[in-house]
Structure 1
Amino acid sequence: MKVPTFEIASILEDIKTRISAEDKEKLSWCISQLIESSGKTDLTTHIQSGNTYLTEETLSQIEQHSSLPLIRLAISDEEISRKSINRRISLSSSSSLDLEISLPSANFDINDFNINIFELAKEFGEATLLSIYAQKIFAYWNLFISMGFDLQVFLRYCQYIGEGYKPNLYHNVLHAADVMQACHVFMISTNIVELSEMIPLHIAALMLSAMVHDYKHPGVSNSYLYMIGDKLAIRYNDVSILENYHVSKAFQIALKENMNIFSNISKEEYRTLRKLMINAVLGTDMTKHPQHVSNLSKLSQNNDLKGEKELLISLFMHLGDLSNPSRIEKICEEWTLRICEEFFLQGDKERSNNIPVSPLMDRYLVNIAKSQIGFISGVILPFITPLCREIKGLDFLVTNAQANKEVWAGRINEFEEKIVKSKDQSASL
C-alpha cells in the first residue's frame, strides 16, 4: 500500500500523545519502519522523499494500536467515497511534499470541551493555534486521506485564513478555532455521523465552515453596515452581509494555486461541499435563529436522518457559534466580556455617528449579567434543550448553560455598579 509518509508520521506522532506507554512504544516502532523502508536514518530527509511502501506487519500494528481510525482507507458509507478513495491516494502519493510550514508539537486533547483556548493562545499564538486545531481535527476524522487534502496546501490555507482574521475582541481567529473545536466535540459526543450516514465530505464541510465563518469580520454587525451604507451592504444587497462576505472570501482564497485545498476532489464533490459550506455559514446570521429553532421539529418528526445531512450541518454550525454560554464558567466569562465590549465599541461608534445605539450595545445602560441571563434564557436554552433531547450525548451543554445562568444571577449588583462608574467617568470628560 502506498501512502504519503509525512501524513502517516504526523498522524502517528499525534496519536502517541493520547495512548498508553506500551502502545506508544509500538507506534514508535511503526514510525521507525517508515524511516527504514526508504533506507534513510534522517526523518526530515525521509519525509521530504514523500512516499514509501508499508509492510503488512506495519499496517497491522497501526490498525491494532491506533485509538483513532486514521489509516482506514475503506469508506463504505456512500458510493462516491468508495469510488474516489483510491484515486485520491494515488494523487497524494505522486505529489511532492514540502515542509514550508511546520507546526509546533502540541499535546493538548482536542476532544476536551473544557479546553482553555486562551491559555493555549498564549503558548502557541492565536493564528498558529487555529492551524494546530485544524490539523488535529482533520487528522482525527481522517480527512487528509479520505478527502485528498494535501497537508502543506491545507496548512498554507489555514495560515492565510488565520492571519486574515482581524484583531477584534471577540470576532477573531480564536473564535474561529473555538467554534471549530466545539463542532468537533459535538460530532464525537453523539452518534450523528452514523445515524445520518455522513461521509467525510460532510464532516469536512462542517469543520471548514467553522474555520472561515467570521473571516475578516470588521467587529461590527450587519445592521451597522446597513445603517452607514457600507460598501459590503451595497455588494450583498443588505442580506446576510457579513456572512456572505466571509464565505465568499474563503472560497476566493482557495482559488490561489498554492492554497487550493479542493484540488483533489471531483467537480461534483466540490459543488456539494461548496453548497453545504455556504448554507452553514449563512446560517450563522442571527436573523436565521428562529428558523433553526423551527427546524428542530424536523428531527423529532423524522427518525431517518439520512436525508437531513445539510440541516444537521447547519444546526451544528449554529450551535457551535452559540456555544460560549455552554462552556465551563471561566471560559464562558472570558468570551462574554469580550463580546460585550465589542458590542459597546460599536455602540460608541453609533453614538458618535448619531445613529440609534443598537440593543445590548450601550455601555451606559446594559448590565452584562442581566443581558446574559436574558440571552441564556431566551435564546440559548430554547434552542439547545430540544436539540439535546433529539440528539443524545449533548446534555452537558444544557447543564453548563444553566450553571452559568445562575452565576450571572449572582453578579447583577456587581455589574450594576460598573454601569454607574462608566456613567460617572463619561460625565467627567
Structure 2
Amino acid sequence: MIDVGHLPEVQTLEHLHIPCWLARVTPGLPAINVEWCNAAASHRFGRLCTKEEQASIIAAYSASTREMLCQTTKRLYKTCLVDGGRTCHRVDPRSALSQTFSAVRSDVTAGDLHDGPFSLIVHGRRETFLLVQFVDSGQVVEPDLLRAGAMQMQTPIHSYLFNSSGLLLLANTTATSSLKARGMTDLANMQLADLLIEEGRRQPDAAEQALHSILVDKQPAYRITLRNRGRSILFEMWWAEDLVLLEPAVLVNSFDITSQKEVEQQLEDAKRQLLIQNEHLELRNVQLEEVHEATCQEKARLLEEQQGLQDRLKKALELHLHPKTSVDTATVADKIISMFDDMLQGKVIEMADVLELRNAANGAKDLRQPVNFQEQLMHRSGLSQDVGASMIELLQGDSHSSARRWASSMSSKRTVERLRPRRSTMDAVPSLHRNDISIAPTPRITSDEPEDAIVQVDRPLVPELEQLLQAASDTSSFQFDMFQLCKASINKPLSALGFFVLSGSGLLQMFNIPEQKLLNLLSRIEEGYPDNPYHNRVHAASVFHMMHLLIHNGLIQQGVLDGITMIGCYLAALCHDYDHSGFNNDYLIKTRNPLAITYNDISPNENHHVAGAYTMLMSSPDYYFSKDMAVEDRNILRAAMIELVLATDMKKHFSVLSQFQMIKPTGPASSQPDGHGHISASLGDLAAQQKMLIAQVALKCADLGHLASQHELHRRWVDALTEEFFRQGDQERAKGMHVSPLMDRNETAGLIKSQVGFFEIVALPLFKQYVELLPMAQPVLDAVKANYQYWHHVHHLHDGCSKDV
C-alpha cells in the first residue's frame, strides 16, 4: 500500500460525504487491492481489511464464487483501466464489501457501486487507479469535477461554500488556514454570519440579505464590503450547486482590498521613483553627450590646426629644397579633385592656392590637360626648343584611343531612351507563330558557298522552344537551364537565344541591321565553338544570357550603356570564347602554340577569340552587318569588343577589379526603388574609361554566371570544367610535361577545396563589388552565396573544418 492521501486530487475526495476509495486491479485475482479510502467510507464501513484478513475471507468462498470474483476483476480491469469506461451495479454492502472493509454497519442499506478510472502522478510517474464510489441516490462525482475541486482547494483566494441555510459546507485550504489563525476551529458548525464580521461583530442581517439575494432573488452575483481591524474586506457571492446533495448553495470569495491597495500603492510609488531616476539619468546622459561633443569639436579643431601647420611646413620645405624645374603633369581637373578631397578631410586650404587654381581653370581650354603645359615644356623644363616642341606635338596631337572613342559615344545624341524597343520583346520578332527562325542544323558557311546555304528567317518556332526563349528573355528572373534550351533548339542555343533577344531589343532598327545578316552571323559564331566539355556553344549562350540580364538590371537604368556600346556588350558575350581550343593560356605559352607566338604570350586565347570573330565577321557580306554603319560607330563597336573580351583573361582579374573599386556614383540617386527595393545612383556621368570598367566587370560576372545557377546546374558546369581540365592534363602527361595543378584526373583530392578557394578569392569579391555599384543585381550575388555555402558545407564534411561566410 502506498500513501496517496497527500495528493491534491485525493484531498478533494477526502472532503466528500460520499464513501469512496482507490484501488489497484489485477485481472484474474478474486479481489481488488484498495490503497486508500476517505473518512466517509471509514465511518460507514470501518477500516480497510489487511491482506491476511482478505485472504482468509476469500478462502472461505466456494470455488464458483471465487471464479465469479475473478471474472469481475477481469471485467473491471478491461472496462475501466484499459478502455477508460465506467461501470455501475447495485450491491448489498454487508456482503459485497465484507472482504474490503472490516466492520460494515448493519444499518447500511443497498446502494450503487460506481467504478471508473482515476489518474494520479505518484512518485513522478502517472498511474491509473480504480475509483469506487458508494452512493444511495446514484449521483457520481466525475473526475473532472474532482480536479476542478482540487484547483479550487489550491487557489490563494479565500473560497467558501455555504448551503441554503448559511451553514459552511467546504472551505479551501487558504480559507481554512485563515479561519484557524483567527481562532475559528469549529468549522463544521460555522455560519455565513460568522464570516461576515464588521468591527468585530457578526452580521446576521447581512448574511440573510446575501442568501436571499442569491437564492431567492436569483441575482447573478452579490457583493458586500465590511471593515474589520482597520482593513476592508470584499465578499463576492454566486449561486452554486452542492454536487453531493444536489441542493442550491452559495459560493463566497473574500478579498483583502486594503492589502491589494497597499500593494498597488507600493507599486505606484516604486514606478514613480523609477521615473524620477530615469529622468535624472537622461539629464546626466545629455550633459555627458554635450561634454563629449564639445571635446570632439575641440579635438577636431586642434587636429585641423595641426594638419594645416604640417602642410605649410612641408610645402615650405619642398619649395626650399626642390625648386620647380620639372614639368607638372597634373591636370586642372586633378587639382580640383585633390582640393575637394582636402576640403572633405577638413584640411586648411590656402587662399593663394584657390586663386591660382581659379585662374588656371578660367584660362584652360581643356580641364583634362596639364596646366600651362606648353609654357612648362618650352621655358621651365630645361628641355631644348626642338625637344619641347616635339613633346607638345606628341602629347597634344589629334590621335584618339579607344577610351576617347567611347567618350564620344557617351556624349552622342543616342541616349538610353532610344534603347526602348519599338515593340515589346514578344512583339519585336515578326510573329512567334509565323516564319521566325530556323532551328534546323546549320551548315558551316563560307563566302564561297551558294546563297541558298545561308540560314533563312523562315521557320516557325516549336511551342517548347518558344516558351523557353520567352523564359530566357525574362529579365526579372536570373535562373535558366541553358542545357534545356540546347536540347529544344537542336543544339542551336546561341543562335536561337541571340536572335530572339537582339531582334526584340530595338537595336536592329536603331542601326538598320538586317535580321538575315544577324542570323547568319549568329549561326557562324555558333559553328565556331568546338565541342569542348566546358568552353562550348552552351557556355557562350549562358554568358550571353547572363549579360542580357545584367544589361537590363542596372547597366541601362544607371546610364552606363548607350545603343552602340550595348551591341558591343552583346557581341563580346557571344564571341568571348570563339574558337576555343580547350586549353588555357599557360598551356598555349608552354607549348609554343602559334597563338602564343602570334600574340607574344599576352592573353593568346582572348586575343584569338576577338580577332578570330572579327576576321569571320569581315569575311563575308552575309555576316558583315557593321559595314554600313557610320565610321564612328564602327570604331566604337570594335574598341568595345576588344577591351571587353581581353578583360576576361583571369590574369587581369585583380587589375580590373582594383580599378573598378575606385568607381563611385556621381549622378543623383533615383527617386524610385528598383524591383528589388534598391535606390540606385546614376552612373551616367562617369568617365568613359570608368564605364568601360563597369562593362568589363559585368562581362566577367557573366563569364562566371554558372556560379549563380541553381545548385544542380552549377554542379553540372563544374563537372564539365573539371573534365576539360583533365583533358589538358592528359595532353600534358602525353607530352612529358608537368601536369598542371588540379588537371590530373588521378589526383582529385583538392577539387572541393579549390571550389571554396575560388569563391572566396575570386567570385565573392567580384560579385560583391559589382552589386555594391549596381544593386539591382543583388539576386545574382545571393545565388552565388548559396552555391558557396554548398561547397563550404561539403568542404566542412570532407575535412572537418568550418568557416563563416
Same fold (TM over 0.5): yes
Q: What's the counterpart of residue 364 of structure 2?
A: none
Q: Does 1:343 align with 2:725?
A: yes
Matched residue type, 1:248:
A
- The question of whether the paired residues in 2 share the 8 Å contact of 1:293 and 1:383 is answered with yes
Q: 1:103 to 1:321 in 2, by over 3 A?
A: farther
Question: Once the two structures are superposed, what CA deviation does each residue of 1:157-187 show, in whole Å capped at 9, x if it has no partner?
Answer: 1001101110000000111111011011011
Which whole-Å deviations, capped at 9, do the CAs of 1:356-380 have from their partners, x for residues lacking one? 2222222233333222111111110
Q: CA RMSD in A?
A: 2.8
Amino acid at match of 1:135: F
> Shift of the alpha carbon at 1:130?
0.7
Residue 507 of structure 2 is matched in structure 1 by 143
**1:322-361 matched pairs, under 5 angstroms:** 322-361=704-743
8 Å contact 2:578–2:609 — kept in the other structure? yes
Distance in 1 of aligned mates of 2:547 and 2:616? 23
In structure 2, relative to structure 1, the CA distance for the partners of 1:348 and 1:302 (3 Å cut) is: farther
Query: How far apart are the structure 1 equivalents of 2:628 and 2:517?
Result: 11
Give me the whole-angstrom Cα distance separating, in 2, the residues matched to 1:149 and 1:236.
Answer: 32
Using the alignment, how far apart are the partners of 1:104 and 1:361 within structure 2? 44
| 1:167 is aligned to 2:540 | no
The letter of the residue matching 1:218 is S
Alignment partner, residue 580 of structure 2:
217
State the Cα distance separating 1:391 from its structure 2 match.
Answer: 1.1
What one-letter code is carried by the residue in structure 1 that aligns with 2:734?
S
- SS for the counterpart of 2:636 is helix
User: Which runs of structure 2 are paired with 1:244-259 in the superposition (5 Å)?
Assistant: 244-255=607-618, 256-259=620-623
- Aligned CA distance change for structure 1 residues 288 and 102 (closer, same or farther; 3 Å): farther
CA distance in 2, matches of 1:328, 1:161: 27
**Distance 1:235-1:415 versus aligned 2 partners, 3 A rule:** farther
Measure how far apart 1:142 and its partner are.
1.0
Counterpart residue type for residue 628 of structure 2: N
Work out the CA distance in 2 between the residues paired with 1:118 and 1:330: 12
> Does 2:512 match 1:152?
no
Deviation at 1:12, TM superposition (A): 6.5
Aligned equivalents of 1:336 and 1:227: distance in 2? Answer: 25
2:670 aligns with: none
Q: Which amino acid aligns with 2:505?
A: W
More displaced 10-residue stretch of structure 1: 365-374 or 114-123: 365-374
CA change 1:338–1:213 in 2 (3 A) is same
> Quick check: 1:316 aligned with 2:687?
no
Distance 1:198 1:314, change over 3 A: same
CA distance in 1, matches of 2:796, 2:762: 23
Contact 1:206 1:277 in 2 (8 A): yes
Give the residue type in structure 1 aligned to 2:426.
Answer: I
- 2:543 is aligned to 179
8 Å contact from structure 1 (residues 284, 321) kept in 2:
yes
Is the 1:189–1:394 contact (alpha carbons within 8 Å) kept by the matching residues of 2?
Answer: yes
SS across alignment from 1:154: helix
Distance in 1 (CA, whole Å) between partners of 2:666 and 2:585 is 34
Q: Distance in 1 between matches of 2:521 and 2:755?
A: 35
Residue 118 of structure 1 corresponds to which residue in structure 2?
483
Aligned equivalents of 2:736, 2:573: Cα separation in 1 = 35
Structure 1 residues 413 and 356, CA gap change in structure 2 (3 angstroms): farther
Task: Specify the alignment match of 1:35 in structure 2.
Answer: none
* Cα displacement (A) at 1:415: 8.3
> Aligned partners of 1:113, 1:242: CA distance in 2, in Å?
28
SS in 2 for 1:338: helix
Partner of 2:744: 362
For 2:772 and 2:693, the matched residues in 1 are separated by 17
Cα distance per residue 1:34-91 (max 9 Å; x no partner):
xxxxxxxxx77xxxxxxxxxxxxxxxxxxxxxxxxxxxxxxxxxxxxxxxxxxxxxxx
Q: Are 1:368 and 1:415, in contact at CA under 8 Å, matched by a contact in 2?
A: no
TM-aligned CA deviation for residue 349 of structure 1: 1.2
Q: Quote how far apart the aligned CAs of 1:202 are.
A: 0.9
Distance in 1 between residues matched to 2:467 and 2:786, nearest whole Å: 29
Question: In the alignment, is the contact (CA less than 8 A) between 2:423 and 2:504 conserved in 1?
Answer: no
Could you tell me which residue of structure 2 aligns to residue 372 of structure 1?
755
Q: Find the aligned partners of 2:659 and 2:666 in 1 and give their Cα distance.
A: 11
Alpha-carbon distance in 2 for matches of 1:327, 1:164: 25
Distance 1:146 1:346 in 2: 44
Contact 2:752 2:791 in 1 (8 A): yes
| Aligned residue in 2 for 1:411 | 794
User: Quick one: which amino acid aligns to residue 229 of structure 1?
Assistant: R
Distance change >3 Å, CA 306–CA 123, structure 1 → 2 = same
Tell me which amino acid in the other structure corresponds to 1:152. Answer: Q
Distance 1:241 1:302, change over 3 A: farther
- How far, CA to CA, are the matches of 1:103 and 1:169 in structure 2? 30
Cα deviation code 1:267-319 (max 9, x no counterpart): 11101110000000011111010012102223237553363332222111111
Give the Cα–Cα distance (whole angstroms) in 1 for the partners of residues 608 and 721 of structure 2.
20
| Separation of aligned partners in 1, 2:628 and 2:725 | 41
The one-character-per-residue Cα deviations of 1:235-273 (angstroms, maximum 9, x if unpaired) are: 111111011111111111111111112133111110111
Shift of 1:129: 1.5
CA contact (8 A) 1:171 1:214 kept: yes
Output the CA distance in 1 between the equivalents of 2:794 and 2:614: 43
In structure 2, do the counterparts of structure 1 residues 249 and 408 end up closer, same or farther at CA, with 3 Å as the change threshold?
same
- Residue 603 of structure 2: aligned partner: 240
Question: Which residue in the other structure is 1:39 paired with?
Answer: none
Q: Residues 224 and 414 from structure 1, CA distance in 2 versus in 1: closer, same or farther, beyond 3 angstroms? A: farther
Q: Within 5 A, what are the aligned runs for 1:410-429? A: 410-412=793-795
- 2:456 pairs, out of 100, 107, 110, with 100
Give the distance between the partners of 1:392 and 1:317, measured in 2 at CA.
16
Contact 1:196 1:305 in 2 (8 A): no
Which has the larger strand fraction?
A: 2
Q: Does 1:270 align with 2:651?
A: no
SS at match of 2:479: coil
Q: Do the aligned partners of residues 373 and 205 (structure 1) sit closer, same or farther apart at CA in structure 2, a change above 3 Å counting?
A: same
TM superposition shift of 1:199 = 1.5
* Aligned match for 1:305, one of 686, 698, 716: 686
Q: Give the letter aligned to residue 756 of structure 2.
A: I
CA contact (8 A) 2:610 2:642 kept: yes
Q: Highest CA radius of gyration, 1 or 2?
A: 2
Letter in 2 for 1:107: Q
Aligned pairs (5 A) from 1:23-42: none
Q: Which structure has more helix as a fraction of its residues?
A: 1
CA contact (8 A) 1:179 1:211 kept: yes
| Residue identity in the other structure for 2:570 | M
Structure number with higher relative contact order (C-alpha < 8 Å, ≥ 6 residues apart)? 1
Q: Is the 8 A contact 1:144 1:150 kept in 2?
A: yes
CA contact 1:284–1:317 (8 Å) conserved in 2: yes
CA contact (8 A) 1:210 1:317 kept: yes
Between the aligned partners of 1:385 and 1:413, the Cα distance in structure 2 is: 23
Question: 1:397/1:283 Cα in 2 relative to 1: closer, same or farther (>3 Å)?
Answer: same
Distance 2:460 2:536 in 1: 21
Work out whether residues 344 and 361 of structure 1, in 8 Å CA contact, stay in contact via their aligned partners in 2. yes
Rate the CA distance shift 1:137–1:16 in 2: closer, same or farther, 3 A. Answer: closer
Distance in 2 (alpha carbons) for counterparts of 1:193 and 1:375: 29
User: Which residue of the other structure, out of 603, 621, 625, is the alignment partner of 1:261?
Assistant: 625
Amino acid at match of 1:136: F
Following superposition, the deviation at residue 99 of structure 1 comes to 7.3
Partner of 1:15: 426
Shift of 1:414: 9.0
1:328, 1:400 within 8 Å by CA — same for their partners in 2?
A: yes
The separation in 2 between residues aligned to 1:213 and 1:389, in whole angstroms, is 25
Question: Which consecutive residues of structure 1, in runs of 5 or more, have no partner in the other structure?
Answer: 1-10, 19-26, 33-42, 45-97, 417-429
Q: Note closer, same or farther for the CA distance 1:402–1:361 as it changes in structure 2 (3 Å cut).
A: same
1:412 CA displacement: 4.3
Residue 456 of structure 2 aligns with an amino acid whose one-letter code is E
What letter matches 2:467 in structure 1? Answer: N
Give the equivalent residue in structure 2 for 1:199: 562
